[in-house]
Amino acid sequence: MARFAVLFVWVLTVISVVSVRYEPNWESLDTRPLPGWYDAAKVGIFIHWGVFSVPAVESEWFWWDWEGVKSPAVVNFMKDNYPPDFTYADFAKDFRAEFFNASEWAEIFQASGAQYIVLTSKHHEGYTNWPSRYSFNWNSQDVGPARDIVGELATAIRNETDMFFGLYHSLFEWFHPLYLQDKANKWQTQKFVQSKTLPELYEIVNRYKPDVIWSDGDWEAPDSYWNSTNFIAWLYNDSPVKDSVVTNDRWGQGVMCKHGGFLTCSDRYNPGKLQKKKWENAMTIDKQSWGYRRNTRLSEFLTTDELVATLVETVSCGGNILVNVGPTSDGKIIPVFEERLRELGQWLKVNSEAIYGSHPWTYQNDTVTPNVWYTKTKISSTTAVYAIVLDWPSSGVLRLGAPSMDGSGVVYLLGYQQQVKFTPQTSGGVAIQLPVFTEGRMPCKHAWVFRLLGVKN
């Protein structure tokens, strides 16, 4: 009888899993549970690479700045350095990628501690980093590298790392004639969507089986123009990645920060408090640009301290962080980016248990000491609370107002082999006696994590 009951429940479960079909509307699509890998992963790498990496000044919006809004800085740059008849398309032949080695990138990304990557398959310029059937002579096989960049990176990531592989895709293209025609028709025609956007999206999903579709360039037109909900319903119901894929929220005017798999809300979104729905902080190490800039200065890069602090704030509030680097047109991740990523990875190696698979705690940051952020993890039947301290107190004592503990609790510093002493405070909270380290002997740099066991709240 018991066995029958188990079988019965099992059959029911299978039927219900099999029979869930999402309808092409947000009400239905938003009920899909987010595949578990994504929340556990916490850290991803964003890569902005395309023809804009050739001029490599201002940002990946170079073409728009030049011929869209005609920003004086870019107009003058072109006037001073290129012949008058030079077009944006002429940059593509210099997108050579001659040093691009997908294995090398995969190793750097893996060393950063990231669990997934998101590559621009196509930015707003329309150039596809794969040999698309729908982007004649404006793709990485026909002009420029003469290689399938998306394919090479997908293979290296899957074959040589345990990271998930995602693709960014821009719905719109600044200057595509069919897009401009649909726009002139006030979105009452869908020529561009029919012949370009949708075929491309189906093509990248069927060919590269991405675990993330990171959509962008949606804001000028409604989701009904983009046919977004129809595409996502196919993605969730019938696509080859229906069980693993996650999507963001940029699927049409007014959709961002409301609907989709996870919310990105704005670039560099970092709200500093707990959010109701899963979200992602997509941000850049070069504070001013997503694409590579030849004329950056060192002061324009986030320091590793700043990068770790942003990661910690983000994860404490329930977010994932997507850390962007812009490779050069010849395919290198310059040493400044590489160093930041490797240092992030060293920090994550020591403090992994406080980040991967963690959950927000009752409090996100401390109530008395600034720059202390919390996460929690269940270890078998007990819950560990992690206090992540961005500034090492020079007083030798760390005062925490949020956790309530008594003498039965235990405090560890991650990466340090012994327990550390603490005193429950009569006013609530605890005072942690910091170990004393000689020069260079701290378990890590940038931020320090205390594992608190026996927290009562």
Binding site for ligand NAG (CB under 6 A): 101, 103-104, 155, 159-160, 190, 193-194, 198, 227, 230, 272-273, 365-367, 370
Least gap, CB of 378 to ligand NAG (angstroms):
24
Beta-bridge mates of residue 376: 359, 385
Q: Are 166 and 245 in contact (CB under 8 A)?
A: no
Q: Report which of 426, 359, 423, 415 is spatially closest to residue 389, judged by C-alpha positions.
A: 415
What is the pairing mode between strands 212-216 and 164-170? Answer: parallel
Closer to ligand NAG by Cβ: residue 365 or 375: 365
Least gap, CB of 283 to ligand NAG (angstroms):
16
200 to 133, 134, 169, 383: CA distances (angstroms): 8, 7, 9, 46
- Report how far apart the first and last C-alpha atoms of the chain are (Å, whole number): 42
What is the Cβ-side half-sphere exposure of residue 183, based on CA atoms within 13 angstroms? 13
What is the pairing mode between strands 279-284 and 246-247? Answer: unpaired
Least gap, CB of 367 to ligand NAG (angstroms):
6
Q: Are 208 and 154 in contact (CB under 8 A)?
A: yes
Closer to ligand NAG by Cβ: residue 135 or 227: 227
Closer to ligand NAG by Cβ: residue 64 or 225: 225
Closer to ligand NAG by Cβ: residue 147 or 259: 147
Least gap, CB of 194 to ligand NAG (angstroms):
4
Closer to ligand NAG by Cβ: residue 185 or 367: 367
Q: At what angle do helices 228-237 and 198-208 cross, to 10 degrees?
A: 20
Closer to ligand NAG by Cβ: residue 129 or 364: 364
Closer to ligand NAG by Cβ: residue 155 or 425: 155
Closer to ligand NAG by Cβ: residue 370 or 407: 370
Least gap, CB of 416 to ligand NAG (angstroms):
25
Least gap, CB of 182 to ligand NAG (angstroms):
10
| Residue 407, Cβ density class (10 Å: 0-12 exposed, 13-18 middle, ≥19 buried) | exposed
Closer to ligand NAG by Cβ: residue 43 or 153: 153
Beta-bridge mates of residue 295: none
Least gap, CB of 300 to ligand NAG (angstroms):
24
Helices (H), 212-276: 223-226, 228-237
Distance CA 338, CA 342 (A): 6
Q: Is the dihedral of CA 427, 429, 433, 438 positive or negative?
A: negative
Q: Give the CA dihedral 325, 327, 332, 336, nearest 10 degrees.
A: -40
Q: Are 416 and 449 in contact (CB under 8 A)?
A: no
Residue 69: which residues within 8 A CB-CB, separation 6 or more? none
Least gap, CB of 15 to ligand NAG (angstroms):
26
Least gap, CB of 268 to ligand NAG (angstroms):
15
